[in-house]
Amino acid sequence: MALGRGLGDILSEVEEAYEKDLSDIDSFDLEAQGARVEDIDVASITPNPFQPRKHFDDEALIELSASIKKNGLLQPIVVIEKEEGYLLIAGERRLRAHKLAKLKTVNAIIADADIDEVKLRELALLENIQREDLNGIELANSYAELIEVHEITHDELSSIVHKSRSQITNTMRLLKLSKYAQEKLIHGKISQGHAKVLVSVDESKQKILIDSIIGQKLSVRDTEQMIKNHKEKPSVEIERKPKINLTSKFKDDFKQKIPFGYSLKDKSIEINFSTSEEIENFLSLLK
């Protein structure tokens, strides 16, 4: 299994960057590991093409951008040097915030490492998983991609990303949600707790439940109860009785005994009179 092989040094640099602010980072230690901290041009950095995170909250980015502009960057991004500029390894939100603030340079740890496509994908996935920056659907896709690319089990993935096997399995179940449900989860309209409850519901009914959750601001517990009530409610089957045409059975008898114009219905007969004399004749028959 190739997952994580050769990434220890870089991941330790990433973790160190997250745990300390710039004033605490020992540049001599980093240089001993083959890395350095420098201000580099924002325009020279290429994002990781395998970034699993697809949704970035605009409001949160604006807040981060304003904070960086006012207080500076407390945690550097991590890059590696390429033939033409740099390739981003960790810190895409911070890089986006710099671009939003129209800052020309950014503090970065420049790691001395040669990373191929597979390792680049691993770093992007692991960094986001460890940082818990992904929403439920992005996280589920990340787990699925790691399992598929490296042909590993849920148990093996559990030991690598330090998440329980049940957490991995339950998160991946979110990929069974309808497209509508996944979009609402990605955009924060429903929580991951809501989503996990909805997995057990037919796709055709998920939209109705989700609209109720959003419209009524239901908690996860309220949602669980609503789904439970829905499942326990017995379906009412309407007994359909066969359609019986009673008059057709006596069609010939009517023809012989009724000397008037008439029309037969399923369960009735309609007699038509053209003169008062016919009515009198009919009344006499009744007597």
Q: Which two tokens stand for residue 53?
A: 């995170």
Going from N- to C-terminal start, the domains of the chain cover: 8-114, 178-231, 244-275
Q: Cα(125)–Cα(145) distance, rounded to whole angstroms?
A: 9
By CB atoms closer than 10 A (0-12, 13-18, 19+), residue 1 is: exposed
- Given a contact cutoff of 8 angstroms between Cβ atoms, the answer to whether 157 and 146 are in contact is yes
Q: Which one is catalytic: 13, 92, 122, 138? A: 92
Of 107, 126, 91, nearest in space to 8 by CA: 126
Domain 8-114 belongs to what topology? Answer: 3.90.1530
Which pLDDT belongs to residue 25? 44
Q: Are 149 and 121 in contact (CB under 8 A)?
A: yes
Q: Give me the pLDDT at residue 241, please.
A: 59
Query: E strand or H helix at 90, and its extent?
Result: strand 85-90
Which residues make beta-bridge pairs with 86? 45, 81
Q: What angle do CA 143, 138, 150 make, to 5 degrees?
A: 25
Question: Per residue of the chain (287 residues), what is the pLDDT tens digit?
Answer: 344 434 445 445 455 544 444 444 444 455 445 567 788 888 998 887 766 666 677 787 888 888 888 888 877 888 888 878 888 877 888 888 899 889 898 888 887 666 666 666 666 666 666 655 678 888 888 888 878 877 888 988 888 777 889 988 999 999 999 999 998 988 889 988 899 889 888 888 889 899 999 988 889 998 888 888 877 665 554 455 566 666 666 777 767 777 777 777 777 777 777 787 777 777 777 76
Report residue 259: phi and psi, to 5°: -90, 30
Q: What is the pTM of this model?
A: 0.52
- Known catalytic residue at 13: no
List all residues 6 or more positions away from 244 whose beta carbon is below 8 Å from its beta carbon: 266, 267
Cα 76 from Cα 33, distance rounded (Å) = 17
